[in-house]
Structure 1
Amino acid sequence: MLGKTANGLFWMYRQLERAENIARLIETGQRIALTRLGSTEEEWKSVLQTSGSLAGYYEHLGDEITRDHAVDWLLRSKDNPGSVMSCIAQARHNARLVRTAITTEVWEATNTAYMTAKDQLARKVADRDLPGVLRMLRQRTGMVRGTTHGTMLRNEIYDFARIGTFLERADNTARIIDVKYYVLLPSVMSVGSSIDNVQWEILLRSVSGRGGFRMAYGAQTDPHDIAQFLILDRRMPRSLAFCIGKIIDNMAYLSADYGGQLPCCVMAEEVQQKYLRLSIDEVFEYGLHEYIQKMLGEMAALGRQIEIDYRFYE
């Protein structure tokens, strides 16, 4: 496979996953703001930080952060390359570049996601319409994933799609955990309080993990159990352990097809061995914020190494 084709597939699926994750973040910001009295500027600032678009917001919209401006920036701004609309548009662009590598069903689902987003986000979304619009956007990106699973051959094309998806998903889960624990709590006195419990509940909802968590751990929202669930539980499809495990699996398939183990494969396995074999108590002893920051750095480095090893730009 040509490197530019692998690049197009990798980034097509990263952008689709990112669009869905940004929609989830907006919903999370809405829910968290409802638990606050008074100004919610800090909550929306934390959401912008999580998405990696705070600097761009300041550059284009100034220092004042409001709910309306933050939502519009994250959802539909053309000046924000990380907005839901921008991500879906870029995913469609990449899908066109690799049109011969994907099935008709995958292309049609991607195009439908784009056309739906373009229609729904043509104008500012009213408050009352926002939950429905976010739900529709998540469903449309989910349809691309579903048609991929249902129609694509399990070959190197599928492998690059999966690696892009799970690298982006792991990055998003890590960012959501970090913002919740490091930014959102008003003070250390809130740990274990009703506010803290509500926010952990919102965190689970933001990764569609509330039902799965209750099945595995019961109704009590203990922070250690939630951290275990989102970081180390291999049954949870958005946990760091699950995502890195899937990346390793698909890299192994590529290695079997092409022969030899590339540096990115070794790097992914080292991340798994060093950081995802720990107990949750060891993670908290390490420092949850410090641990997540380390994981974010490792995943960024892994993404760069994948681009080098598979010659994405040749």
Structure 2
Amino acid sequence: MLSRTADHLFWMARYTERAENTARMLDANYQLSLLPQSDEYAELGWRAMLSISELSGTYSAAHHGMKSREVIDFMARDMMNPSSILSCLRAARENARAVRSSTNSELWETLNTTWLDGQRMLADGILDREPYTFFEWVKFRSHLSRGVQLGTLVKDDAFYFMRLGTFIERADNTARILDVKFEMMEQRADTSAQPFDYHHWTAVLGSVSGFEVYRRVYRDVITPERVAGLLILYRDWPRSMAASIAEVEELIARVTKGRESDAAHLAAQLSAELKNGDIGAILQGDLHAYLVHFLARVNDLASQISREFLLPIAPETTETPQAPASSPTPTQSQSQSQSSSS
């Protein structure tokens, strides 16, 4: 397969997954903001939302204050924000358009309709009336695109590169969600807010569709330690960091067909460490440092995948050195710029 084609497929899947994850985080923050709490704690939640995507500086340059409606608008439909839901839906659609012959008409129609309907819904003011309805719709459309992939496509290299993009993006986002939410809990003592921990961690689990999974696995009260264990190490749940990297390892093996590969080595090493990890030992250390190190390694893995199979990623700088970004924005992705000009 041509590296250009593989690149488009990889980024098409990443942007679709990113749109879904952004909708999940917005929905969780919106639900949490409805609970009784101080203004300071509510603002902390929205700041954390921006911190996850490393967009605090971009937002502050165009907005004064941290109003929930403005943050939701910025993260959902602002086309000047390259990581907004609408920007990601456009990027996914443009990459899909460039490789229509490598997929099928069902997948193209799914992504194209998502882009067109998303614009219409936002223009009709759904964010002002029922933001949660829009977030659920974005999640549903992402599920639909993956269902079309799994149900209609041949399992060849094109299919594997799409799946690679999905799970690289998912591993990155799960780590970011967990890191920011733990940081929020640590900072809570510095605010006047006193929300129930139960609602906080329920929102975290809800943002990754993990609440019912948690109940099945632990059958007990929700604790931060168990939430971290589920999101980091539970390999039987497809949204955990361990499960995502295990999928990446298997998919690289299918693409390389047994050939020597630095990307395969990096994926196998990271997957083995997660498989043998102990949540007690992780939490006894510095969880933030652990997650930042994980993000850096996912970034290295994604870069190595690009060097071996895709088009080179343009160098980028991060907003804060503590949280390296593994996810180039649509303007930085070569796939996006090429497909837009085609």
Using structure 2 for the length normalisation, give the TM-score: 0.86
Q: RMSD of the alignment, in Å? A: 1.9
Q: Partners of 1:125 and 1:303 in 2: how far apart?
A: 35
Structure 2 residue aligned with 1:57: 59
Q: Any idea what the Cα deviations from partners look like across 1:100-145, whole Å, max 9, x if unmatched?
A: 1111111111111111211112255444411111111211121111
Specify the code of the residue in structure 1 equivalent to 2:7: N
Structure 2 residue aligned with 1:133: 134
Compute the displacement of 1:225 (Å).
1.6
Gaps of 5+ in 1: none
Residues paired across the two proteins, number: 309
Where does 1:93-108 land on structure 2 (aligned, <5 Å)? 93-108=94-109
Structure 2 residue aligned with 1:14: 14
Structure 2 residue aligned with 1:206: 207
Q: Partners of 2:126 and 2:175 in 1: how far apart?
A: 28
Specify the code of the residue in structure 2 equivalent to 1:41: E
3-state SS of 2:123 partner: coil
Q: Any idea what the Cα deviations from partners look like across 1:38-66, whole Å, max 9, x if unmatched?
A: 3122211111111222221122224x221
Contact persistence 1:7–1:312 (CA under 8 A): yes
Q: Partners of 1:99 and 1:268 in 2: how far apart?
A: 29
Contact persistence 1:43–1:184 (CA under 8 A): no
Q: Partners of 2:22 and 2:127 in 1: how far apart?
A: 18
Where does 1:108-187 land on structure 2 (aligned, <5 Å)? 108-122=109-123, 124-187=125-188
Q: Partners of 2:95 and 2:106 in 1: how far apart?
A: 16
Contact persistence 2:230–2:240 (CA under 8 A): yes
Using structure 1 for the length normalisation, give the TM-score: 0.93
Specify the code of the residue in structure 2 equivalent to 1:42: L
3-state SS of 2:226 partner: helix
Structure 2 residue aligned with 1:24: 24
Where does 1:64-79 land on structure 2 (aligned, <5 Å)? 64-79=65-80
Aligned identity (percent) is: 32
Greater CA deviation, 163-172 or 284-293? 284-293
3-state SS of 2:311 partner: coil
TM-aligned CA distance change 1:98 to 1:283, over 3 Å: same
Greater CA deviation, 15-24 or 122-131? 122-131
Specify the code of the residue in structure 2 equivalent to 1:19: A
TM-aligned CA distance change 1:188 to 1:275, over 3 Å: farther
Q: Any idea what the Cα deviations from partners look like across 1:184-238, whole Å, max 9, x if unmatched?
A: 4444699xx8622221111111101111111111141122221111110011110
3-state SS of 1:121 partner: helix
Compute the displacement of 1:36 (Å).
4.6
Structure 2 residue aligned with 1:302: 301
Q: Any idea what the Cα deviations from partners look like across 1:263-306, whole Å, max 9, x if unmatched?
A: 11111111122344211111112321111111111111111111
Q: Partners of 1:22 and 1:188 in 2: how far apart?
A: 27
Contact persistence 2:73–2:127 (CA under 8 A): no
Greater CA deviation, 238-247 or 225-234? 225-234
3-state SS of 1:282 partner: helix
Q: Partners of 1:41 and 1:173 in 2: how far apart?
A: 22
Q: Partners of 2:156 and 2:308 in 1: how far apart?
A: 18
